[in-house]
Amino acid sequence: MVWDFGEINPLGTGSGNVGSAIHWIIEVIKHENSNPNFANVQRSSSMYTSIETSSLDAVITDPPYFDSVPYADLSDYFYIWLKRSIGHLYPEHFTAKLTPKNNTFANL
């Protein structure tokens, strides 16, 4: 895996700085708080879903990188990191030792 570095200076005054990022985050939060619609978020396989197709506006998936060794290693690293930091808040999502590498999401 090759590292890639961001090309912005978050502490500067140009595009992508911390101040403008916070400004846009606040604007999005204000907009979403005034929006009466809501989202239904479901963790499952994109191949198998129990949601009626006609009720969906969008389906957002993460590409199937589990069979590519570097991505599988990275997903395990972040899974363990998340399990240690927020696993107590969402224990149902962190029951396995590592990330699933097969079709186990089909049964969620």
* Per-domain residue ranges of the chain: 39-107
Residues 75, 59: Cα–Cα separation, whole Å? 21
pLDDT value for 62: 66
Question: pTM score, two decimals?
Answer: 0.38
The token duo for 58 is 């969008």
For 23-41, how does the pLDDT look when each residue is reduced to its tens digit (9 = 90+)? Answer: 989 998 888 888 777 777 7
Please count the other Cβ atoms lying within 10 Å of the Cβ belonging to residue 73.
13
Percent of the chain with pLDDT over 70: 76
Averaged pLDDT score across all residues of the chain = 77
Q: Is 50 exceeded by the pLDDT of residue 64?
A: yes
Predicted pLDDT of residue 82: 93
